[in-house]
C-alpha cells in the first residue's frame, strides 16, 4: 500500500488508509460491533461449549465435558463426508466464477439505466422459493420430463435419460443457486473501475488480453474474492439441494449435521461438526487469500 | 473513550455469556444426576413461573385478545386443512394461530425451550410424543371437556406413547407399504427382501429416513425395528450396503411421483402416498411386506403449560366430531381413527382409508433406541449414502 | 470490433438469464394446472388461485415474510454499510476479529445456527416472534452487505474524497455526496441478496419464531405430509408478477425524472 511510483498506485491506494484521520468514524462501526458481539459471538461461544458436552440417553444434553465428539469426526465415514463436501464446494466455486465473471463484467459495462434493470433481473428469480425452483428443475430434467420428451421428439435420444438424482445434478443445482452471488460481487467491483487505466495499458502497447489480465482482473480482484467467499461458504452447508436434486443420495456436511440434530438427536456431535466446518472453511479462505497474494485486502477474510 | 466502551462491552458480553450458559443447561437434559434446572422444569409443570413463560405471557398481553381467545396449533403445514381451521374459528370465535415445524425434533426442542408453554395443540409423531411425555411436557386431557373422546376407534389406542389413553388423540395413523409397477418389474415382490433382487437395479425409491430403511434390513433378518443389539444392527448395516446399487432415490416428500413418472419401478411409501399413487395409476400393485409391517401414528396432545388449555380441549373435541374427522381424513389421506367419521367418508375413501386397520395389530412401531444404537444407525446411514452416489 | 464484442455480451447475458428463468417458467405454468400431480398435463385451471385467495394462513405467512425480509435486509444494509465504511477508517486491533466473527453466521449450517439462536434467545429472555426473527435474519444478512461494500471500497479513488475535503466539504457531506454514490451498486447488490436470503430462509426461522408468527418458507417447506400444493405455485406467480409490475413502473417513472 505504500508504493507510490506506478500507474496502478492511483487505484490501489485509497483514502481509507491509516493516514486519513479517524475522526468520529468509530461511531459508524458501533452497530456492527454491538450486533456482532451480542448476537453472533455469544451464540457461537455457546455452540463451542455445546460441542464439548455429552448427549443424553434419549433427549438433550448432559453437562459433562468430553472430547469424544471431536474424536468421532476422525472416523473415516465422517472424514469422507468432509472430503466430498469440499470437492463439491471447490467445483461449484470454480464453475460459478467461470460462468459468473463474464456476466458481472458485461453487466458493469451496460448503460447506467440498464445496469439497475439487469441487477434486478438477476436477483428476482431468487426471490421465489428455492424449493419451488428446484421442483421446476425436476419437472424439466426427470425421466419422461420436458427435456426427455423434447429430445425424443427431436430424435436425439431413443429412451428416457436418467439425468437427475446424481452428483452432477447436485453440482448444477449448487451452481444455479449460488451464481447471483458471484455475478453481483464481480459487478459491484467492476462497476467503479477506472477504465482509463485499461486504456492507458493499451496505449502502452498491451494487447486486449494482456490489458485484461494485468489491469482488469487485478482491479476486480476484491469482487472476485468476495464472490468466491460468498459462493464457497454456503456450498459447504447447502443440504436441501443434495436432498432434492441428489435424490438424498449425496451426503454433505450440511446433511450430516442436519441428521445428527434430527434423527440422531446428538446435538453435541452436530455442534462439533459445525465447529470443524467453521474452522475448515476459515482455513480455506485464509489460505486462498495468502496464495492469491491479495495484500491490499487485509481483513476481507 | 474507546477503551471504556470496550470494557463495558466485554462486561456485558461476559454477563450474557453466563446467562446463556446457565440457560442452555435448562434447555434439555435428562441424565441420572438431574441438574437443578431439570428438577425445576419438572416441578414447573403446572405453575408457570419460569422467566420464559412469563415473557411469553407479556407478549400475549400486548397482542389483541379476541372474543373467544386464541389457539396456537403447532404441526406440519397443511396437515390440519384450512377448511377445518376456518370452520372451528367460525363455530367457536377462537382465533387460530397455525405455525409449523419440519422435523419432530425441532418441535420438541421448541417445546422444551418454552417449558411446555406457548403452544396449545401439537400434532407430532408417536416416538417423539413418548419422549415429550417422559420429559413432563404433555398435559393430561380432561375428558369431561372432550365428550367426543369416545369416538376414537379403540384399534388406535393403548399404544406405547400413551398406554393409559390419558394424553393423546390419534390424528394420522399409517402403515408404510411397498408399491410397484407390474408392467416394469420382472421379479415377484412379496416383501422387503424382494428389493434386493438384482433385476431392480437403480429403480427403487426409499424413504430418506435411516430408521425406516434400516428397519427393512432388520426385518429381513427377522429382527425387531427397535433392537438395541449393536451386533445385529451392524449385520443389518452390512446387508443394507448390498441394497445400494438398487436405490435410485431417497425421498420423504411426494415419493409417489417417482413411481408415477417412471423414474423408479418400486417404492416404499407412506399411507398418504400409497393412496395418491393408486388414485393416479390404479394399475400399481400394493404389497404388504411378508416380513412384517411398520406402523406409525401422528397424534395430537396438549403441552403441559399450554396458555389456552380450554380452547385446546375444545379443538380436540371438534376434530373428533364425525363430520370434521371425515373431512380431515379426506384431506390428509391417512387412516381414519374416528369411528363416528366412517359414515361420512365417501366409498372410495372407505376402501383405502379404513380397511387396512385390520393389519394394525401386526404392525410394529419404530421407537427410540438408546444413544449408542442411535449413533450406530447414524454412522451406517452416512456410510450407506456415501455408497449411493 | 467493439460492436461484435457487445453482441457476444448480450447473447451471453440473455442465454444465462434464460436459464435462470427456466425453472420459474415451469413453476408459473403449473400454477395454472388443473391437477395437483405434475406427471401428466391435465388441462388449465384457475383453481389454485381461488384456493389461495381463501387460504388466510398462507397469505398471512407471506405478509410476515415480506415484513421480515424488508426489516432484516434494511437493518443489515445500514449496519453492514456503516460498518464496512467505518472499519476501513479505524485502526482498532479488534477489527479483524470482529469482521471475522460477523461472517460466521453464513459459515455454519443454518440448522445448528437456528438451534443455537433458539437457546440463546430463550436464555436472554426475548419472547419468540417477529423480534427474534429479525435479529436472527439480520445476523446472516449482514455478511452479504458487509463483504460486498468492503470489496467495493478497496479500490476507491482517494483523491476524490480529499479534493472534496480540500474544497471545504464536511466528512458527512463527502460520505453522502461522494462515497455513498460510488459504493451504491455494492450496497444495493448486498441488500438485494440479503432480501432474497431472508425471504427464503426456513431453518433458522423455524427455530426462532413464536407461536403466532409463521413465515412463507416455513409454510412451504413443512408441507411434508401433503406434498407441496400448487397454491404455492400460484403464490410464487403472483409475487413475480407484482415484482415485475413494480420494476416496470419504477422504470417508467425513472425515465420521466431526469435525475436518474
Distance CA A294, CA A281 (A): 18
Whether the per-residue pLDDT at B363 is higher than 80: the answer is yes
Which residues of chain C lie closer than 8 angstroms to B119, CB-CB? 211
> How many helices (H) and strands (E) would you count in chain B?
14, 11
Mean pLDDT of B160-186: 94
Whether the per-residue pLDDT at C254 is higher than 80: the answer is no
Whether the per-residue pLDDT at B16 is higher than 60: the answer is no
- Residue A242, pLDDT score: 87
Instruction: Give the tens place of pLDDT for each residue, B94-149.
Output: 999 999 999 999 999 999 999 998 999 999 999 999 999 999 999 999 999 999 99
Q: How confident is the model at residue A105 (pLDDT cuts 50, 70, 90)?
A: very high
Whether the per-residue pLDDT at C215 is higher than 90: the answer is yes
Q: How far is C217 from chain B (nearest CA, A)?
A: 10
Q: Which residues pair with B285 in a beta bridge?
A: B180
User: A144: burial class by Cβ within 10 Å (0-12, 13-18, 19+)?
Assistant: middle
Q: How far is C55 from chain A (nearest CA, A)?
A: 18
Residues 154 through 183 of chain C touching chain B, CB cutoff 8 Å:
none
**0.90 surpassed by complex ipTM:** no
Say which range, A254-268, A281-295, B101-115, has the weakest mean pLDDT.
A281-295
Name the E strands within chain B.
Answer: 70-75, 95-100, 121-125, 168-174, 177-180, 204-206, 247-250, 266-269, 285-287, 294-301, 364-365
* A38/B379 touch (CB, cutoff 8 Å), yes or no: no
Q: How confident is the model at residue C161 (pLDDT cuts 50, 70, 90)?
A: low
Q: How far is B57 from chain C (nearest CA, A)?
A: 9
Mean pLDDT of C35-63: 90
Identify the residue with better confidence: C68 or A263: C68
Which residues of chain A lie closer than 8 angstroms to B248, CB-CB? 162, 165, 247
Output b/e per residue, A86-111; b: 16+ Cβ within 10 A: bebbebbbebbbebbbbbbbbbbebe
Which residues, 6 or more positions from C77, have their beta carbon under 8 angstroms from its beta carbon?
C145, C187, C190, C191, C194
Q: Which residues pair with B301 in a beta bridge?
A: B122, B168
Say which DSSP state B303 is in: B
- Residue B65, pLDDT score: 38
* A250/B263 touch (CB, cutoff 8 Å), yes or no: no
> Locate cell 398406554: which residue?
B163
Minimal CA–CA distance to A176: which of B42, B103, C123, C22? C22
Could you say which architecture CATH assigns to the domain C59-229?
Orthogonal Bundle (1.10)
Q: How confident is the model at residue B217 (pLDDT cuts 50, 70, 90)?
A: very high
Contact B260/A at CB under 8 A: no
Contact A25/C at CB under 8 A: yes
Question: How many CB atoms sit inside 10 A of residue C257's CB?
Answer: 7
Q: How far is CA B84 from CA A41, A233, B331, in A?
A: 44, 43, 10
Minimal CA–CA distance to B385: which of B236, B233, B228, B213? B213
Q: How far is A262 from chain C (nearest CA, A)?
A: 10
- Residue B96, pLDDT score: 95
- Residue A2, pLDDT score: 42
Mean pLDDT of B79-99: 95
Instruction: Mention the CATH class of domain B177-292+365-388.
Output: alpha beta
Instruction: Give the tens place of pLDDT for each residue, A29-61.
Output: 999 999 999 999 999 999 999 999 999 988 889
- Residue C167, pLDDT score: 76
The chains found to touch C (3+ Cβ pairs under 8 angstroms) are: A, B
Which residues of chain A lie closer than 8 angstroms to C20, CB-CB? 122, 125, 176, 179
CB pairs under 8 A between A and C: 320
Residues 173 through 232 of chain A touching chain B, CB cutoff 8 Å:
none
Which residues, 6 or more positions from C252, have their beta carbon under 8 angstroms from its beta carbon?
none
- Residue A216, pLDDT score: 87
Residues 52 through 91 of chain C touching chain A, CB cutoff 8 Å:
78-80, 82-83, 85-91
Mean of the per-residue pLDDT values for chain C? 87
**Which member of C20, C91, C106 has the closest CB to residue A233?**
C106
- Residue C7, pLDDT score: 85
Contact A35/C at CB under 8 A: yes
Question: How many CB atoms sit inside 10 A of residue A33's CB?
Answer: 24
Mutate to test the interface with C, among B78, B120, B172, B333 (most CBs of C within 10 A): B78
Whether the per-residue pLDDT at A120 is higher than 70: the answer is yes
- Residue A277, pLDDT score: 92
Contact B382/A at CB under 8 A: yes
Whether the per-residue pLDDT at A290 is higher than 50: the answer is yes
Whether the per-residue pLDDT at B17 is higher than 80: the answer is no
User: C70: burial class by Cβ within 10 Å (0-12, 13-18, 19+)?
Assistant: middle
Phi, psi of B173 (to 5 degrees): -85, 155
Whether the per-residue pLDDT at C207 is higher than 90: the answer is yes
- Chain centroid to Cα C161, Å, comes to 31
With a pLDDT cut of 90, the percent of chain B lying above it is: 66
Which residues of chain C lie closer than 8 angstroms to A125, CB-CB? 20-21, 23-24
How would DSSP label each residue in A37-103? Answer: IIIIIHHHHHHHHHTTSEE-SSSSEES---SHHHHHHTSHHHHHHHHHHHHHHHHHHHHHHHHHHHH
Distance CA B56, CA B386 (A): 44
* C115/B109 touch (CB, cutoff 8 Å), yes or no: yes
Contact B208/A at CB under 8 A: yes
- Residue B375, pLDDT score: 94
Instruction: Give the tens place of pLDDT for each residue, A222-251.
Output: 889 889 988 998 888 788 888 889 988 988
Contact B50, B44 (CB under 8 A): yes
Q: How far is B266 from chain A (nearest CA, A)?
A: 15
* C209/B97 touch (CB, cutoff 8 Å), yes or no: no
| 3-state SS, residue B127 | helix
* B99/C214 touch (CB, cutoff 8 Å), yes or no: yes
- Residue B125, pLDDT score: 95
Q: How far is A70 from chain C (nearest CA, A)?
A: 16
Q: How confident is the model at residue B311 (pLDDT cuts 50, 70, 90)?
A: very high
Say which range, B65-69, B316-320, C170-174, has the weakest mean pLDDT.
B65-69
CATH superfamily of B50-174+297-345: Periplasmic binding protein-like II (3.40.190.10)
Closest chain C residue by Cα to residue B89? C56
Say which range, B7-16, B199-208, C36-45, has the weakest mean pLDDT.
B7-16
Distance CA A95, CA A72 (A): 33
- Residue A236, pLDDT score: 84
Q: How confident is the model at residue C256 (pLDDT cuts 50, 70, 90)?
A: low
Question: How many CB atoms sit inside 10 A of residue A27's CB?
Answer: 11
Mutate to test the interface with B, among A74, A247, A259, A262 (most CBs of B within 10 A): A247
Per-domain residue ranges of chain A: 64-297
| 3-state SS, residue B302 | coil
pTM of the complete model: 0.85
Per-domain residue ranges of chain B: 50-174+297-345, 177-292+365-388
Q: How far is CA B138 from CA B52, B133, B283, B339, B348, in A?
A: 18, 5, 44, 25, 36
* A58/B382 touch (CB, cutoff 8 Å), yes or no: no
Instruction: Mention the CATH class of domain A64-297.
Output: mainly alpha
Say which range, A128-132, C64-68, C223-227, has the weakest mean pLDDT.
C223-227
Mean pLDDT of A170-178: 93
With a pLDDT cut of 70, the percent of chain B lying above it is: 80
Residues 188 through 227 of chain C touching chain A, CB cutoff 8 Å:
188-190, 192-193, 195-196, 199-200, 216-217, 220-221
Distance CA A37, CA B11 (A): 11
Per-domain residue ranges of chain C: 59-229
* C118/B113 touch (CB, cutoff 8 Å), yes or no: yes
- Residue B21, pLDDT score: 36
Say which DSSP state A31 is in: H
- Residue B356, pLDDT score: 57
Biggest alpha carbon distance in chain A?
Answer: 73
User: A282: burial class by Cβ within 10 Å (0-12, 13-18, 19+)?
Assistant: middle
Distance CA A301, CA A281 (A): 11
Contact A256, B385 (CB under 8 A): no
Distance CA A56, CA C25 (A): 48
Closest chain B residue by Cα to residue C40? B261
- Residue B31, pLDDT score: 36
Instruction: Give the tens place of pLDDT for each residue, C112-140.
Output: 899 899 999 999 999 999 999 999 999 99
Whether the per-residue pLDDT at B53 is higher than 60: the answer is no
User: A44: burial class by Cβ within 10 Å (0-12, 13-18, 19+)?
Assistant: buried
Instruction: Give the tens place of pLDDT for each residue, B314-356.
Output: 999 999 999 999 999 988 888 889 999 988 988 777 666 544 5
Contact C105/A at CB under 8 A: yes
Minimal CA–CA distance to C224: which of A171, B334, B278, B114? B334
Closest chain A residue by Cα to residue B376? A264
Amino acid at each position: 500500500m505504500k508504493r507510490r511510483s506506478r500507474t496502478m498506485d492511483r487505484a490501489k491506494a485509497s483514502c481509507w488508509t491509516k493516514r486519513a484521520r479517524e475522526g468520529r468514524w468509530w461511531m459508524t462501526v458501533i452497530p456492527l460491533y454491538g450486533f456482532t458481539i451480542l448476537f453472533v459471538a455469544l451464540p457461537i461461544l455457546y455452540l463451542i461449549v455445546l460441542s464439548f458436552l455429552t448427549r443424553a440417553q434419549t433427549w438433550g444434553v448432559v453437562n459433562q465435558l468430553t472430547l469424544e465428539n471431536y474424536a468421532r469426526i476422525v472416523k473415516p465415514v465422517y472424514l469422507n463426508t468432509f472430503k466430498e463436501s469440499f470437492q463439491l464446494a471447490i467445483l461449484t466455486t470454480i464453475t460459478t466464477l467461470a460462468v459468473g465473471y463474464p456476466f458481472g463484467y458485461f453487466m458493469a459495462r451496460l448503460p447506467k439505466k440498464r445496469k439497475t434493470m439487469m441487477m434486478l433481473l438477476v436477483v428476482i428469480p431468487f426471490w421465489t422459493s428455492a424449493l419451488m425452483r428446484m421442483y421446476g428443475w425436476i419437472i424439466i430434467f426427470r425421466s419422461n420430463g420436458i427435456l426427455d420428451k423434447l429430445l425424443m421428439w427431436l430424435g436425439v435420444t431413443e429412451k428416457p435419460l436418467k439425468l437427475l438424482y446424481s452428483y452432477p445434478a447436485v453440482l448444477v443445482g449448487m451452481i444455479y443457486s449460488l451464481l447471483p452471488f458471484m455475478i453481483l460481487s464481480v459487478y459491484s467491483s467492476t462497476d467503479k473501475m477506472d477504465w482509463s487505466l485499461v486504456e492507458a495499458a493499451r496505449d502502452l502497447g498491451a494487447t486486449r488480453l494482456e490489458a485484461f489480465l494485468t489491469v482488469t482482473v487485478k482491479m476486480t480482484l476484491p469482487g472476485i474474492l468476495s464472490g468466491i467467499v460468498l459462493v464457497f461458504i454456503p456450498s459447504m452447508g447447502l443440504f436441501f439441494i443434495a436432498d432434492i436434486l441428489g435424490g438424498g443420495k449425496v451426503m454433505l456436511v450440511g446433511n450430516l449435521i442436519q441428521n445428527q440434530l434430527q434423527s440422531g438427536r446428538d446435538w453435541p456431535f452436530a455442534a462439533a461438526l459445525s465447529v470443524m466446518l467453521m474452522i475448515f472453511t476459515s482455513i480455506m479462505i485464509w489460505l486462498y487469500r495468502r496464495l492469491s497474494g491479495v495484500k491490499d485486502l487485509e481483513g476481507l477474510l | 473513550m474507546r477503551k471504556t466502551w470496550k470494557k463495558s462491552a466485554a462486561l456485558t458480553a461476559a454477563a450474557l455469556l453466563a446467562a446463556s450458559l446457565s440457560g442452555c443447561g435448562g434447555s434439555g437434559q435428562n441424565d441420572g444426576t438431574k441438574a437443578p434446572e431439570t428438577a425445576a422444569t419438572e416441578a414447573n409443570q403446572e405453575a408457570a413461573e419460569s422467566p420464559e413463560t412469563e415473557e411469553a405471557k407479556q407478549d400475549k398481553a400486548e397482542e389483541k385478545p379476541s372474543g373467544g381467545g386464541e389457539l396456537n396449533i403447532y404441526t406440519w403445514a397443511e396437515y390440519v386443512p384450512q377448511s377445518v381451521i376456518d370452520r372451528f374459528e367460525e363455530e367457536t370465535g377462537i382465533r387460530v394461530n397455525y405455525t409449523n415445524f419440519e422435523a419432530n425434533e425441532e418441535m420438541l426442542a421448541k417445546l422444551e425451550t418454552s417449558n411446555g408453554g406457548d403452544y396449545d395443540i401439537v400434532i407430532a409423531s408417536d416416538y417423539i410424543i413418548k419422549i415429550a411425555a417422559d420429559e413432563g411436557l404433555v398435559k393430561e386431557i380432561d375428558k369431561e371437556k372432550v365428550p367426543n373422546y369416545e369416538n376414537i376407534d379403540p384399534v388406535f389406542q393403548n399404544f406405547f406413547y400413551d398406554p393409559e389413553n390419558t394424553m393423546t388423540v390419534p390424528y394420522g395413523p399409517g402403515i408404510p407399504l411397498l408399491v410397484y409397477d407390474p408392467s416394469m418389474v420382472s421379479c415377484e415382490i412379496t416383501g422387503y427382501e424382494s428389493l434386493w433382487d438384482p433385476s431392480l437395479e437403480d429403480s427403487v425409491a426409499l424413504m430418506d429416513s435411516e430408521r425406516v430403511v434400516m428397519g427393512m434390513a432388520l426385518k429381513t433378518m427377522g429382527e425387531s425395528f427397535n433392537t438395541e443389539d449393536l451386533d445385529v444392527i451392524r449385520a443389518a448395516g452390512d446387508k443394507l450396503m448390498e441394497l445400494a446399487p438398487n436405490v435410485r432415490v431417497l425421498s420423504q416428500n411426494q415419493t409417489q411421483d417417482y413411481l408415477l413418472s417412471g423414474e423408479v419401478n418400486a417404492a416404499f411409501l407412506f399411507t398418504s402416498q400409497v393412496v395418491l399413487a393408486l388414485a393416479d395409476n390404479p394399475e400399481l400393485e400394493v404389497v404388504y411386506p411378508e416380513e412384517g409391517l411398520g406402523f406409525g401414528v401422528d397424534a395430537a396432545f396438549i403441552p403441559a403449560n399450554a396458555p389456552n388449555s380450554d380452547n385446546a380441549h375444545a379443538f380436540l373435541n371438534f376434530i373428533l366430531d364425525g363430520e370434521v374427522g371425515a373431512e380431515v381424513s379426506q384431506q390428509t389421506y391417512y387412516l381414519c381413527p374416528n369411528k363416528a367419521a366412517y359414515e361420512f367418508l365417501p366409498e372410495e375413501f372407505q376402501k383405502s382409508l379404513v380397511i387396512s386397520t385390520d393389519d394394525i395389530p401386526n404392525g410394529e412401531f419404530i421407537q427410540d433406541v438408546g444413544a449408542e444404537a442411535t449413533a450406530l444407525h447414524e454412522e451406517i446411514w452416512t456410510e450407506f449414502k456415501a455408497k449411493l452416489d | 470490433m467493439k460492436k461484435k464484442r457487445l453482441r457476444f455480451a448480450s447473447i451471453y447475458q440473455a442465454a444465462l438469464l434464460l436459464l435462470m428463468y427456466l425453472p420459474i417458467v415451469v413453476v408459473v405454468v403449473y400454477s395454472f394446472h388443473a391437477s395437483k400431480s405434475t406427471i401428466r398435463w391435465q388441462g388449465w385451471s384457475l383453481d389454485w388461485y381461488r384456493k389461495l385467495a381463501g387460504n388466510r394462513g398462507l397469505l398471512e405467512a407471506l405478509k410476515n415474510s415480506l415484513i421480515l425480509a424488508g426489516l432484516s435486509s434494511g437493518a443489515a444494509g445500514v449496519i453492514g454499510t456503516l460498518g464496512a465504511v467505518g472499519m476501513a477508517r479505524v485502526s482498532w486491533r479488534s477489527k479483524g476479529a470482529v469482521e471475522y466473527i460477523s461472517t460466521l453466521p453464513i459459515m455454519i449450517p443454518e440448522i445448528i445456527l437456528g438451534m443455537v439462536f433458539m437457546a440463546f434467545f430463550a436464555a436472554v429472555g426475548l419472547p419468540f416472534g417477529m423480534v427474534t426473527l429479525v435479529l436472527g435474519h439480520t445476523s446472516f444478512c449482514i455478511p452479504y452487505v458487509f463483504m460486498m461494500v468492503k470489496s467495493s471500497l478497496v479500490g476507491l479513488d482517494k483523491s476524490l474524497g480529499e479534493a472534496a475535503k480540500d474544497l471545504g466539504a464536511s466528512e458527512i457531506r463527502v460520505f453522502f455526496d461522494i462515497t455513498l454514490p460510488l459504493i451504491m451498486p455494492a450496497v444495493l447488490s448486498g441488500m438485494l441478496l440479503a432480501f432474497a436470503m431472508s425471504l427464503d430462509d426456513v431453518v433458522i426461522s423455524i427455530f426462532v419464531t413464536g407461536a403466532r408468527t409463521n413465515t412463507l418458507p416455513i409454510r412451504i417447506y413443512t408441507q411434508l405430509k401433503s406434498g407441496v400444493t400448487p397454491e404455492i405455485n400460484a403464490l410464487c406467480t403472483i409475487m413475480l408478477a407484482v415484482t415485475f409490475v413494480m420494476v416496470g413502473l419504477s422504470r417508467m417513472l425513472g425515465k420521466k425524472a431526469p435525475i436518474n
